[in-house]
Amino acid sequence: MREYLQSRWVRVGLGLLILGCGPQILIIVAAAIGLWPDPNPNPIGPGLLAFLTFWPSVICLAIGVTRVRLRRNKGAA
């Protein structure tokens, strides 16, 4: 796991995922447990942020994991 977190691609992907989807997930969870004033929120801003950052973060994570695995397999051979 430490090898993956040392990869810049993985760190960027995780950062994008957390900062992009985090507000949306926080609002959904807060509404579900009753901490949000509206029980059925429609957070457009955080939804658009999540929409725009989800796939780039998944792509960065995939590149990072692939690079770490290739580097690990190259060292083992």
Q: What is the pLDDT of residue 60?
A: 98
Residue 46 contacts residue 25 (beta carbons within 8 Å):
no
Domain hosting 69: range is 2-76
Contact yes or no for 58/13 (Cβ under 8 A):
yes
How many domains would you assign to the chain?
Answer: 1
Read off the pLDDT of residues 8-62 as tens digits, 9 standing for 90 and up.
Answer: 999 999 999 999 999 999 999 999 999 989 888 988 999 999 999 999 999 999 9
Interacting residues of 7 by C-beta distance below 8 A, sequence separation 6+: 64, 65, 67, 68
Both structure tokens of 74: 């190259």
CB proximity list for 50: less than 8 A, separation 6 or greater: 20, 21, 23, 24
What pLDDT score was predicted for residue 76? 75
Predicted pLDDT of residue 1: 86
Greater confidence (65 vs 43) lies with: 65
User: What's the pTM value of the predicted model, to 2 decimals?
Assistant: 0.85
